[in-house]
Chains A and B, each alone.
Chain A
Amino acid sequence: MREIRAEQITEAVARLSMEANFELEDDVQKAIEEAFEKEESPAGKEVLRQILENSQIARTERMPICQDTGYAVVFAELGQDLHIVGGDFEAAVNEGVRSGYTEGYLRKSVLSDPIKGANTGDNTPAIVHLRIVPGDTLKLWIVPKGGGSENMSKIAMMKPADGVEGVKRFVVDCVRTASGNPCPPVVVGVGIGGTFEYCAYLAKKALLRMIGSTHPDSYYAELEKELLELVNDTGVGPMGLGGRVTALSVNIEAAPRHIASFPVSVNMNCHAARHKMVEL
């Protein structure tokens, strides 16, 4: 059986926490460059110009793109033929967050308890979504998630009768009412189906997908395209100041559902759509 040491996980998480916050991923960078070309509103164009200049400064000076360096959300796919030695998995991830957020001068934004809590001081604990899969590798996605866009996320337990038209209404309404708050242009993660909690997970998972990639199911690929147009027709524009580009991408994750339930969720991500992946 293949083995990896827990400290390799720690090192990877630490490095990716910093890289994700300093370097806008290529897919996001490219999407914002395209948005800058497309944008017609002068205020919107100026916002996009600042975002691009900011990305350049962050990259060269190794400063965070945004001061909100996020809650550290980690998706992991652990091959069942891989053996982690020398420590436990979640502790290794948390140690990585701790050292990455400290070494990188990233902001610590986590409270130990939602009501009674104080700042944990090292941005732990991470939120870990772990799946056991066939194989002998460990895939890790680090998604530092900002609060401003997270707060504009929603879930609805719709009626099956609402159908796909209901989904469209919900998503567009969510983007319109979020207005400038989630730092548009946004990436819209949409979960359709599953149960209440799984649907929210799907919307978050949808944010891992590369902007510009096509949904493997042609039905959802079409729906994503249509939703992107509808969302951009709201006119919300960069930072809500009005414009043609409100979203960089709409990403859907769909799952089987109960015959009586039709959950739909939207997880909003800002233009600082940070995500990094590594395979160990």
Chain B
Amino acid sequence: MAEHKLTTPLSEEDVRKLEAGDTVSLTGVVYTARDAAHKRLVELLEAGKELPIPLEGQLIYYVGPAPTPPGKVIGSAGPTTSYRMDPYSPILLEHGLRGMIGKGARSEPVVEAMKKYGAVYFAATGGAAALISRSIVSAEVIAYEDLGAEAIRKLEVKDFPLIVAQDSSGGNVYEEGQKQYAR
């Protein structure tokens, strides 16, 4: 299993060489969005309107951070469960989204879109939220401030530790890993 250092934005080529189980240290900009923000983004796409964030080559991190305490860049900020975004992801991938960061497995339609458009799904460690906040060097709300924790933030991350959970050729660390350790 390979180790990679990646910097966003990512090209299709960057992503196609990642295999399920590889570890990645990620640097650069990622955008946050959860359930409510996804709903709005997809409504805009369906209406043919412009989005508040770029998608081409970008990554979305599924997180609703805790409020920022004084003197910090951001509050605790670990991943939320990804399957809730499954209904929205294929259309975002179709419009150029290169990858997603969350926790837990993705469904078949998302995997099909990842294969087709060349995208990757990374897992971060759920519940390691104070630790992950240390990889975030800047945070700024850029859309949907009314959604509070669910607003879209532009985060700059440095050496964010991730694992390639599902890759662009159908590789799946959950299936492979669990099979290996089941008795």
Point out residues on A near B: beta carbons under 8 Å.
40-41, 43-44, 46-47, 50-51, 53-54, 57-58, 61-69, 105-109, 119, 146-148, 151, 179-181, 183, 233-237, 239-244, 270-272
B28 within 8 A of A: no
Among B5-13, B49-57, B93-101, B124-132, the stretch that binds chain A is B124-132
B26 to chain A, nearest CB (A): 15
In the complex, chain A residues whose CB is within 8 Å of the CB of B67: 105-107
Q: Is the CB of B131 within 8 A of A43?
A: no
Q: Is the CB of A242 within 8 A of B180?
A: yes
Q: Is the CB of B66 within 8 A of A105?
A: yes
B155 within 8 A of A: no
B148 within 8 A of A: yes
Bound state CA distance, A147 and B80, in angstroms? Answer: 9
In the complex, chain B residues whose CB is within 8 Å of the CB of A53: 128, 131
In the complex, chain B residues whose CB is within 8 Å of the CB of A233: 182-183
In the complex, chain A residues whose CB is within 8 Å of the CB of B133: 63
Q: Is the CB of A108 within 8 A of B80?
A: no
Task: Sort A-B residue pairs by CB-CB distance and give the 5 closest, nearest first.
Answer: A242-B177, A235-B182, A235-B181, A183-B126, A181-B104
Contact with A along B15-59 (1 / 0, CB 8 A): 000000101000000000000000000000000000000000000
Bound state CA distance, A180 and B104, in angstroms? Answer: 5
Bound state CA distance, A69 and B181, in angstroms? Answer: 31
A190 to chain B, nearest CB (A): 21
B106 to chain A, nearest CB (A): 11
> A43 contacts which of B77, B132, B148, B163 (Cβ < 8 Å)?
B163
In the complex, chain A residues whose CB is within 8 Å of the CB of B178: 179, 234-237, 240, 242
Q: Is the CB of B177 within 8 A of A241?
A: yes
Question: What would be 28 A-B contacts, judged by CB atoms less than 8 Å apart?
Answer: A41-B180, A44-B177, A54-B127, A54-B128, A57-B134, A63-B130, A64-B75, A64-B130, A66-B129, A67-B66, A67-B75, A67-B129, A105-B68, A107-B66, A107-B67, A147-B80, A148-B80, A179-B178, A180-B105, A181-B83, A183-B103, A183-B126, A234-B178, A235-B178, A239-B126, A240-B174, A241-B165, A241-B173
A64 to chain B, nearest CB (A): 4
Q: Is the CB of A50 within 8 A of B173?
A: no
In the complex, chain A residues whose CB is within 8 Å of the CB of B66: 63-64, 67, 69, 105-107
Residues of B134-183 contacting chain A, CB below 8 A: 134, 148-149, 161, 163, 165, 173-174, 176-183
How many A-B contacts if CB must be within 8 Å?
A: 163
In the complex, chain A residues whose CB is within 8 Å of the CB of B173: 43, 241-242
B123 within 8 A of A: yes
In the complex, chain B residues whose CB is within 8 Å of the CB of A146: 127
B64 within 8 A of A: yes
Bound state CA distance, A226 and B116, in angstroms? Answer: 44
> A50 contacts which of B63, B76, B81, B131 (Cβ < 8 Å)?
B131
B118 within 8 A of A: no
In the complex, chain A residues whose CB is within 8 Å of the CB of B176: 242
In the complex, chain B residues whose CB is within 8 Å of the CB of A147: 80-81
Q: Is the CB of B181 within 8 A of A51?
A: no
Determine which residue in B129, B176, B180 has the highest number of CB atoms from chain A within 10 A of its CB, and name it: B129
Q: Name the residue of chain A whose CB is nearest to the CB of B150.
A: A119
> A243 contacts which of B69, B80, B148, B177 (Cβ < 8 Å)?
B177
Determine which residue in B66, B72, B105 has the highest number of CB atoms from chain A within 10 A of its CB, and name it: B66
A176 to chain B, nearest CB (A): 8
Bound state CA distance, A46 and B75, in angstroms? Answer: 23
When A63-B75, A66-B76, A272-B127 are in contact, do A237 and B104 touch as well, CB less than 8 Å?
A: no
> A244 contacts which of B76, B103, B148, B181 (Cβ < 8 Å)?
B181
